Amino acid sequence: MRPSRVALVHIALVLLSVLFVLPFLWMLTTAVKPIGETLTSPPRWIPSQVLWSNFPDAVFYGSKELGYVPFLVYARNTVIITLLCVVGSVASNTIVAYSFARLRWPGRDLFFAATLATMMVPFPVLMVPIYGMFKEFGWIGSFKPLWVPAWFGSAFAIFLLRQFFRTIPNDLSEAARIDGASEFRVFADIVLPLARPAVTVIALFTFMGTWNDFLGPLIFLTDQNTFTLSLGLQAYQTQHGGTPWNLLMAASLLVILPIVVVFFFAQKTFVHGIATSGFK
């Protein structure tokens, strides 16, 4: 790129970054404010004093009453569920999407259409039968309703991966097949590495979706020590008592921090793609 264009790109990116980072900065500044300054009109950006102690206060919030540090228990539970979901989602969706994208079998296109159709029915009208079903399985109160379904694939991920798999030229896999590679080898050694950015996207979205999921844990969990972080964030909110906004924002920041870190590293795979597929 010409230097003038590089400069232009930088200017555009800096301006956009400022705009897009605003809500995050808003969280950050609220998180370190004294409580009284969370409520001013017009709102103030710079707190009169920076209270880093809000972060430990948020983590240990409620630990005296409960006898343990709820934030850490919720974090453990969230990590368990998220790990199971991400692994299950990547394992199941890649291979299913491969089948839809690159193998022919009777009824495939019809079934794919049905798969897409499942996303078009809104979730609230499915909640009652889903609850009833998991109750019959004896799963209410356990983590199973939250992670087992991930191992069977999701329409969103299958659709996305299928679109990516279909952009990979067929001659590569044909060559491998002629060399005697099994279909699984073709999938695992040729197609999957080429679709790494897309697989990363699925892993990342599953991670974010599970980490932040509120409705699932709300409906299916029945004990405080099985709660996840997103449920735990309610502990700072009250009906009529005055919410400690600073602690809520401090806790929220801690909750999303792992996602930011994971994202920062995951997006690096988005440059390898060109190197590996550049030989076309």
Partner 1 sequence: MRPQSKLALLIVLILTVGAAVLGERVVSREASPGRVTVVYWEKWTGQEGEEMRKVVDAFNRSQDRIFVKYLSISGVDQKTILASGGGNPPDVAGIWQEQVFQFADLGALTDLTAMANAAGLTRDYYIPAYYDALSEGETLWALPSTPASIGLHVRPDLVPSEVATPETFPETIEELDALNDRISKQNADGSLVMAGFLPSNPGWWHWGWGPLFGADLFKGGNPTLNGPETVRAFEWIARYSKKFGPQAVQNFQSGFGNFASPQDPFMTGKVATEINGVWKANYIRVYQPDLKWFAVPMPYPKDRPDLKGHSLLSQDVLVIPRGAKRAKEAFEFIAFVQRQDVMEGLCSAHGKNSPLNEVSEAFFENHPNKAIRLFDQLARSPNAIYPSRSGFFPRVSGELANAFQEVNTGLKTPKQALDDAQARIDGLWKTYREQVARS
Partner 2 sequence: MNSRHEARIGILFALPWILGFVLLLAYPLVFSLVTSFTNFSVLREPKWIGLSNYQELMSDGVFLTALQNTLLYTIGAVPLGTVLAIALAMLLNAKVKGMAVYRTLLFLPTLVPMVAQATLFLWVFNGDYGLLNAALRGIGFSPPNWLGDPAWAKWTLILIAAWGCGQAMLIYLAGLQDVPANLYEAADLDGAKLWHKTRHITLPMISPVILFNVIMAIIGSIQVFAVPQVMFPGGAPARSTYMFAMYLYDNAFLYQRMGYASAMGWVMFLIILALTLAALRLSERHVHYETQ
- For partner 1, the binding residues (CB under 8 A) are 35-36, 38-41, 43, 62, 65, 76-77, 79-81, 83-84, 87, 127-128, 131-132, 135, 140-143, 147, 188-189, 218-219, 222-226, 231, 234-245
Q: How far is the CB of 228 from partner 2 (least distance, A)?
A: 13
Touching partner 2, residues 220-249 (CB under 8 A): 233, 237, 245, 248-249
Tracing tokens 């009824």 back to the chain, one arrives at 107
Which of partner 2, partner 1, none does 111 bind, CB closer than 5 to 8 A by kind?
A: partner 2
Q: How far is the CB of 278 from partner 2 (least distance, A)?
A: 5
State which residue, 45 or 52, has the beta carbon closest to partner 2.
45
State how far the Cα of 111 lies from the Cα of 201, in Å rounded to an integer.
Answer: 24
Q: How far is the CB of 24 from partner 2 (least distance, A)?
A: 5
Which of partner 2, partner 1, none does 92 bind, CB closer than 5 to 8 A by kind?
A: partner 2
Q: Which DSSP string do the residues of the chain spell out, in sequence order?
A: --HHHHHHHHHHHHHHHHHHHHHHHHHHHHHTS-GGGGS-SS--SS-SS--TTHHHHHHTTTHHHHSS-HHHHHHHHHHHHHHHHHHHHHHHHHHHHHHHHH---TTHHHHHHHHHHHTTS-GGGGHHHHHHHHHHHT-TTSSHHHHGGGGG--HHHHHHHHHHHTTS-HHHHHHHHHTT--HHHIIIIIIHHHTHHHHHHHHHHHHHHHHH--HHHHHH--SGGG--HHHHGGGG--SSS---HHHHHHHHHHHHHHHHHHHHHHTTHHHHHHHHHTT-
Q: How far is the CB of 124 from partner 2 (least distance, A)?
A: 5
Q: For Cα atoms 106, 110, 115, give the angle at the middle one, nearest 5 degrees.
A: 120
Q: Which stretch binds partner 2 (CB under 8 A): 47-55, 57-65, 218-226, 250-258?
A: 250-258
Binding flag, residue 188, partner 2 (CB under 8 A): no
Site string for partner 2, 258-277 (x = CB under 8 A): -xx--xx--xx-xxxxx--x
Select from 166, 175, 193, 225 the one that contacts partner 2 (CB under 8 A).
Answer: 166
Which of partner 2, partner 1, none does 167 bind, CB closer than 5 to 8 A by kind?
A: partner 2
State which residue, 64 or 274, has the beta carbon closest to partner 2.
274
Q: Which stretch binds partner 2 (CB under 8 A): 9-17, 49-57, 58-66, 217-225?
A: 9-17
Largest CA distance in the chain: 72
Which of partner 2, partner 1, none does 138 bind, CB closer than 5 to 8 A by kind?
A: none
State how far the Cα of 74 lies from the Cα of 62, in Å rounded to an integer.
Answer: 13
Touching partner 2, residues 66-85 (CB under 8 A): none
